[in-house]
Amino acid sequence: MANAAFWIGLMQGMALKYRDIRPLMDFDDAKSNFIGAARRGLASEMDWIDGKRWSSGELIADQLVEIAKHGLKERRVNEEDVERYLGIIDSRVKNQLTGAQWQLGSLASMKRQESSTRAERLDALVESMITQQKTGAPGHEWPLATVQVKALNTIHGTRVEHFMSTDLFTVQEDELVDFVAVLMNWRHIRHVLVENDDHGLVGLVTQRSILKALTDISHSGNDQDLSVGEIMVKNPISVSPETATIDAIRLMRENNIGALPVVLNNQLVGIITETDFNLLAARLFDGTEDSAL
């Protein structure tokens, strides 16, 4: 409601203040302002009619809120509603917190809880939004969402998307193996996905394949640079996000592999590894212990 009041008031107020804005602002500046605001929100900067370059927050607080107030009052909107809703806009700018920033901040905070899954974080985000909306408090006053990790009693009914990692580190076929080895050591990961220019899956590099390649080079005495394409597992077995967790576990066991890339509409969206399933197993044991008490 505050956003709607601000937008409607601003359109009315601008029409009253500037009968024709076209001679006052170049279209390229308006386009640049739009793109900057879409990308960076309150962190963006605007080229305004007065020839100055404003930060979005300062422009809203010093110029646009007053124009919107005038526009709404000219349309005979209740003054208490005007002050209430545009006051929310003003406070949001001062706190530098929009709804989008609240969501991103909440997800980032919850992601630091290593035991939580992506699905649990998204569920917690929606649950918190519903709870906070019922309080009537504006979004910039909401505390960040938190996730309560619950013990599992069964994996039946769960899918790969509930446990997969979406924080992907990918390389392309022409990358050097030495670079990938450094990347894996830095991030403490054992699998790196190989993608093409369209973000489609073409291969998988494992810690074991890198160690073998580096060992072979060392024994041969041939100091050559290897590319990822020379050592990767081509067209690795993959699953979709909707794959049942139990089926993914069975697939890994039957094929003696430690990771499954997750693909949706020919696009890489995640990876699930034996480490993820080890954490899942630990939570299952916790659930068994809890249910026995």
pLDDT given for residue 121 in this prediction: 83
Question: What kind of fold does domain 160-283 have according to CATH?
Answer: CBS-domain (3.10.580)
Mean pLDDT by 10 residues, the chain (293 residues): 92 89 88 90 88 90 92 91 91 86 89 72 88 89 82 70 85 91 87 92 91 77 80 93 92 93 92 82 57 36
Task: List, in sequence order, every beta strand (DSSP E) within the chain.
Answer: 45-47, 53-55, 170-171, 191-195, 201-206, 233-234, 259-264, 267-273
pLDDT given for residue 34 in this prediction: 92
pLDDT given for residue 274 in this prediction: 87
pLDDT given for residue 242 in this prediction: 93
| The pTM of the whole model exceeds 0.85 | no
pLDDT given for residue 97 in this prediction: 84
Q: What residue type is assigned to position 53 of the chain?
A: R
Provide the 3-class DSSP secondary structure of residue 159. strand
Q: What residue type is assigned to position 20 of the chain?
A: D
What does the block give as tokens for 131?
């709870």
- 193 in Cβ contact with 260 (< 8 Å): no
Q: What residue type is assigned to position 145 of the chain?
A: A
Domain boundaries, given as residue ranges, for the chain: 2-95, 99-141, 160-283
203 by Cβ neighbours in 10 Å (0-12 / 13-18 / 19+) ranks as buried
pLDDT given for residue 275 in this prediction: 82
**In whole angstroms, how far apart are CA 187 and each of 109, 110, 168, 181, 184?**
19, 19, 11, 10, 5
Q: At what angle do helices 79-95 and 2-17 cross, to 10 degrees?
A: 100
